[in-house]
C-alpha cells in the first residue's frame, strides 16, 4: 500500500485503490460505499487524544514535550 500512497500517509483513498487492485471490489466508490465510509462495515472511528494525557504519555515514555508555534496561543490562558 506504501506504493499506492507514494510514500505519504496511507488514507482511505489508498485503501480503496488497493481493494480494487486486489479484486475485492470493482470500483473505489464501492469500497467506500460498502466498507470504508463512515458507516461502512470496516470503518474504525478515530479518537482524539486529550492534550494533557498526551503530555503524560510523552513524559512517561521519556520524551520531552515542546509547544510549537507559541505565538498562536497568545492570550489563551
The CATH number assigned to the domain holding 17 equals 1.10.150
Query: What's this model's pTM, rounded to 2 decimal places?
Result: 0.58
- Across the chain, what does the average pLDDT equal? 88
Give pLDDT tens digits for 44-74. Answer: 888 888 888 989 999 999 999 888 887 876 7
Residue pointed to by grid coordinates 479518537: 47
Alpha helices in 6-77 (DSSP H): 12-21, 28-30, 51-60
Q: Is the pLDDT of residue 1 over 80?
A: no
Decide if 54 contacts 47 (C-beta within 8 A): no
Q: What pLDDT is recorded for position 20?
A: 97
User: How many structural domains comprise the chain?
Assistant: 1
Domain interval for residue 20: 1-77
A 10 A CB-CB count for 31 gives 23
Q: What pLDDT is recorded for position 72?
A: 76
Amino acid at each position: 500500500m506504501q506504493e499506492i500512497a507514494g510514500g505519504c500517509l496511507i488514507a482511505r483513498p489508498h485503501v480503496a485503490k488497493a481493494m480494487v487492485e486486489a479484486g475485492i471490489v470493482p470500483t473505489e466508490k464501492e469500497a467506500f460505499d460498502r466498507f470504508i465510509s463512515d458507516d461502512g462495515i470496516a470503518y474504525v472511528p478515530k479518537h482524539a487524544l486529550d492534550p494533557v494525557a498526551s503530555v503524560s504519555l510523552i513524559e512517561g515514555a521519556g520524551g520531552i514535550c515542546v509547544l510549537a508555534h507559541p505565538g498562536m496561543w497568545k492570550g489563551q490562558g
